[in-house]
Structure 1
Amino acid sequence: MQLGNLAQQPRPDMILNRHLRENPYFMKYEVMDTHFQMDFHMHIGYEIYFFHQGEGSFLVEDRVYGLAGNDMILVNPLAVHKSFLSSAQGCTRTVINFLPELVDAKHRDRLLQPFDLKSMVKGQYLCIGADAQQRIFYLLKRMYEAYSGQSGSDEMAFCIYLNELLLEIYRLSEADSERPLLQTDTPMPNSIVDNMMQYLAERYANKISLDHLADHFFLNKHYICHLFKKKTGYTITQFLLHIRIRHAKKYLTYSDLSISEIAGKVGFNSFSNFAHDFKKVVGIPPTIYRKNGLQLTDKQG
């Protein structure tokens, strides 16, 4: 599929944003994928991503977490993220998106605290142990039953179960933060490609060459290009470009920085290069994207 064609289709984050503004929660339950690919994206609202089984990686902003089953990733509003699912046998996931208005007002700050990267020793990641799995699985199932219903009481039930789930997550994060952190506890990337993705995500605004990357990881540059493309479906250059463009979209929509300032902030050495690559990926110039984004946010308050 050509990049130009991609730009003409509704982006998944736009579709989700529209849905959440009409109905402040969304859920996919135990979806099994064999060749699922989601582009880098961001959206309003919080996300709970539960990875039931399979193998893969999950990138949130500048962190990459290895996934191996019973993993939970917590995603803040407007955080750039993407999953990379690599299990040939298929992967199963549950995804919950919600706006903060569904969270109990009295305890909202504490219930949403685990989503804050600074509040957890391990970042926005939890590995759900055997003791907590039964309770988590029960709540996810009941939430989906309520989500699939049509009555007003089903919406109320979903909100109640969501708050119970957030309480469970809060307790788990508190227990993890009180326990001494061991090297084996840290959710490290599970392959050299994961390490490369994290390296690029942390340094996307810097000038990075294939030679530099190969030297850093002590590997042949042709080998790392082959390895990276095989696992992610992207070349290293494409991966870096998409991260830069996704961050540029955030600045264009939610900051007052000039477009030239944004170009430099996300790693482009000139406005013309930025404008050319942005239009190639998105389908419209950054000036039009900013104008459309401002109109959208004005209409949606």
Structure 2
Amino acid sequence: MKFIENIDLYSNNFLFTFRAQRKHPGQFHAHKGMEFIYIYKGTGHIMLDHRMYELRSGTLIIFQPYQLHRIHQDDSAEYIRSYVVFEPSLFESYLASFPSLRSFFYHLWKDQLQNQIFYDIGPDHPLVHLYEELQERKHLVPDHKLTEEYGLFIMRFLCLLRLLWAKHENPDAPSVRSLSQVERMMAWLEEHYNEPFSIDELSKHVHLSPKHISAIFRQKTGGTLTDYLMAIRLNQACLLLKTSSKPVTEIGQEIGFTNTSYFCQFFKKKMAVTPYQYRKQFLELV
């Protein structure tokens, strides 16, 4: 299971997929870039920041870089979506002359967001039309000019999203509801990921037997408690390798690995490179 998707953003630092239909295995994962995804058809649920949300047709989702999430599609339903994934730091220059829009972009990129999922966005919404227009432009514009097209897409998308955002800012947002049992488990794991895992301590926290919580978690998420815990640790490792100069040994210990050798083996198995190579690759992009 790969927790951090090593999405190829190509030379334009931008990936665009239009009306994809192939289903993918629902697993906890994160992207290196920011993602805007629109669901034309689909049913299921979304797990994001230890919360569970409904997935249905007409859903728009904003994922931040390295934000752990999982989309589970119902087996019997179609799943059609368009999405863009991009490296935000390489497109912020397009917003230099628009301070208000740039501030909104930074908010999406770096702040703790109250709401990232928008429902009932019909196929005729201007935001959805932008995906269709980009698909048409992609086949008309020479490859060496695509970066500009992608930058314009992001600016137009942000302008329309900001209007949508303002309409959905209200005190009844989903984040105020109480946590379900599985969400409480995920929240506990996110709080204690850097400690030796104790299913007994978790069971005390949610007031269920160890056997029961394992069964409930798998039933509701499709994965195991260990899957989620290791996904959190790997996600944190990637962030620390990118944003700090801490030694690899210290990073491993900080995220819950007492053995540096095992940490490096685990990281390479999931990321296809060692922690040292991962940091070197990132520094070469800066």
TM-score w.r.t. the length of structure 1 is 0.74
- Going from structure 1 to structure 2, the CA distance change for 1:82 and 1:130 (only over 3 Å counts) comes to closer
Matched residues, number: 277
Matched residue, 1:97: 85
Matched residue, 1:72: 60
Matches of 2:135 and 2:269 in 1, distance apart? 36
Give the Å deviation of 1:240.
0.6
Whichever residue aligns with residue 293 of structure 1, its letter is Y
Are 1:57 and 1:189, in contact at CA under 8 Å, matched by a contact in 2? no
Give the Å deviation of 1:244.
0.8
Matched residue, 1:144: 135
Whichever residue aligns with residue 170 of structure 1, its letter is R
Are 1:66 and 1:189, in contact at CA under 8 Å, matched by a contact in 2? no
Matched residue, 2:163: 171
Give SS of 1:199's match. Answer: helix
Whichever residue aligns with residue 74 of structure 2, its letter is S
The superposition leaves residues 208-242 of structure 1 with CA deviations (integer Å, 9 ceiling, x where unpaired) of: 42222222223232222123234444321232123
Give the Å deviation of 1:248.
1.5
Matched residue, 1:85: 72
Are 1:49 and 1:95, in contact at CA under 8 Å, matched by a contact in 2? yes
- Going from structure 1 to structure 2, the CA distance change for 1:74 and 1:139 (only over 3 Å counts) comes to same
- Going from structure 1 to structure 2, the CA distance change for 1:291 and 1:281 (only over 3 Å counts) comes to closer
Matches of 1:196 and 1:225 in 2, distance apart? 10
Matched residue, 1:243: 232
Matched residue, 2:268: 282
Q: CA RMSD in A?
A: 3.6
Matches of 2:63 and 2:146 in 1, distance apart? 25
Runs (5+) with no aligned partner, structure 2: none
- Going from structure 1 to structure 2, the CA distance change for 1:207 and 1:138 (only over 3 Å counts) comes to same
- Going from structure 1 to structure 2, the CA distance change for 1:168 and 1:119 (only over 3 Å counts) comes to farther
Matches of 2:79 and 2:226 in 1, distance apart? 27
Runs (5+) with no aligned partner, structure 1: none
**Identity in percent:** 17
Q: Decide which of 105, 109, 112 is 2:105's aligned counterpart.
A: 112
- Going from structure 1 to structure 2, the CA distance change for 1:205 and 1:127 (only over 3 Å counts) comes to same
Matches of 2:277 and 2:267 in 1, distance apart? 16
Give the Å deviation of 1:158.
4.5
Q: Does 1:49 align with 2:37?
A: yes
Give SS of 1:282's match. Answer: helix
The superposition leaves residues 94-129 of structure 1 with CA deviations (integer Å, 9 ceiling, x where unpaired) of: 221124444433125234144146475x24x13144
